[in-house]
């Protein structure tokens, strides 16, 4: 994946987040699963861009300013007059489990591949060295948008890009339609080089009885590299015929587990881009996820992440 000059492109949605603090008050922030990963990739020194659509409002201006401050290129972010980004109200329970309530049905990110400028987005993606998206990304798009997105992935792979995917299954995002979810996922998985699933998500969507069965199912799609996250348990890394369990180096009680998987994925991909073997990349990913879940919020201050 080490192609100097080329960049990683993460694709998805950034929402305005109202996050409830310990004092009961709400603080304004912004985030989203693929955006969180983009932030941590950029902090690791990876040349990173983000692809989405935002409005022309002050909150969208704030998201662009955050991306710029984190060193994320914004040339693949479309601005749509008269539209507003989605809104997420986020809380955590007593053990740090996140709960989110969303108002996102009219967010412009849903139409990313249907705007007149969608070909500009496609061109940026096809020039990438790494493309990262999730099941949440897929849930945004109509069938027409999905067709354009999947075709873009095919062209990018022909150009030498690697495609990384985390199923990140959220039933509400798919309106409970498991059949459509599985169909869309299967089409996407045919175009994936690196799978980064969370075992609990895969068990819910596919009924996988073990991380090993998740690996076997994904390998049937021809996916060459798989790292199955499993909470505080060891991650299972599969590359070719080799399989290895990589233990969490330090199990901590999460203060806020909101972006645990997003951080793991960023740590893993950044390490792989930098030349680490998969097992070492999983170890680095565990450490970044550990630092993130020790604090509230998906995007934690740089000073609070160990190196």
Helix axes 199-206, 211-219, angle to 10 degrees: 70
Q: State the residue for tokens 């879940």.
A: 293
3-class DSSP assignment, residue 130? strand
Q: Which of 33, 166, 262, 291 is catalytic?
A: 262
Which among 279, 292, 268, 193 has a CA at the least distance from the CA of 242? 279
Q: Which two tokens stand for residue 299?
A: 């995007």
Instruction: Show the DSSP H helices in the chain as ranges.
Output: 33-43, 58-69, 118-126, 135-140, 143-158, 178-189, 199-206, 211-219, 260-273, 278-293
Beta carbons within 8 Å of 298's beta carbon, 6+ residues apart: 17, 29, 31, 36, 258, 259, 262, 292
CA distances to 2, 27, 143, 253 from 61, in Å:
32, 17, 29, 35
Sorted by sequence, the CB contacts under 8 Å of residue 87 that are 6+ apart come out as 15, 16, 17, 18, 102, 103, 104
> Is 208 designated active site?
no
DSSP reduced 3-state for 100:
strand
For residue 306, count CB atoms less than 10 angstroms from its CB and return exposed for 0-12, middle for 13-18, buried for 19 or more.
Answer: exposed
User: Annotated active-site positions, please?
Assistant: 262
């Amino acid at each position: 994946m080490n192609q100097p000059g080329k960049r990683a492109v993460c694709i998805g949605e950034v929402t305005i987040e109202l996050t409830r603090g310990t004092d009961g008050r709400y603080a304004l922030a912004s985030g989203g699963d693929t955006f969180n990963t983009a932030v941590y990739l950029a902090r690791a020194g990876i040349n990173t861009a983000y692809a989405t659509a935002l409005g022309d409002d002050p909150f969208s201006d704030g998201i662009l300013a955050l991306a710029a401050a984190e060193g994320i290129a914004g040339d693949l972010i479309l601005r749509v007059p008269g539209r507003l980004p989605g809104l997420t109200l986020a809380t955590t329970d007593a053990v740090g489990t996140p709960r989110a309530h969303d108002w996102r049905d009219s967010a412009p990110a849903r139409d990313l591949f249907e705007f007149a400028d969608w070909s500009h987005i496609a061109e940026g993606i096809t020039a990438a060295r790494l493309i990262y998206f999730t099941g949440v990304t897929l849930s945004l798009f109509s069938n027409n948008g999905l067709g354009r997105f999947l075709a873009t992935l095919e062209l990018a792979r022909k150009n030498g890009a690697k495609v990384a995917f985390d199923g990140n299954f959220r039933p509400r995002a798919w309106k409970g339609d498991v059949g459509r979810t599985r169909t869309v996922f299967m089409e996407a998985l045919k175009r994936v080089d690196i799978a980064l699933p969370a075992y609990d998500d895969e068990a819910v969507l596919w009924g996988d009885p073990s991380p090993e069965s998740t690996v076997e199912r994904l390998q049937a799609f021809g996916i060459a590299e798989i790292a199955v996250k499993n909470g505080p348990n060891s991650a299972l890394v599969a590359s070719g015929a080799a399989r290895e369990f990589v233990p969490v180096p330090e199990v901590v009680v999460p203060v806020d587990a909101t972006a645990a998987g997003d951080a793991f994925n960023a740590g893993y991909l950044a390490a792989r881009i930098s030349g680490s073997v998969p097992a070492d990349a999983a170890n680095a990913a565990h450490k970044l996820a550990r630092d993130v879940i020790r604090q509230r919020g998906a995007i934690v201050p740089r000073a609070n992440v160990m190196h």
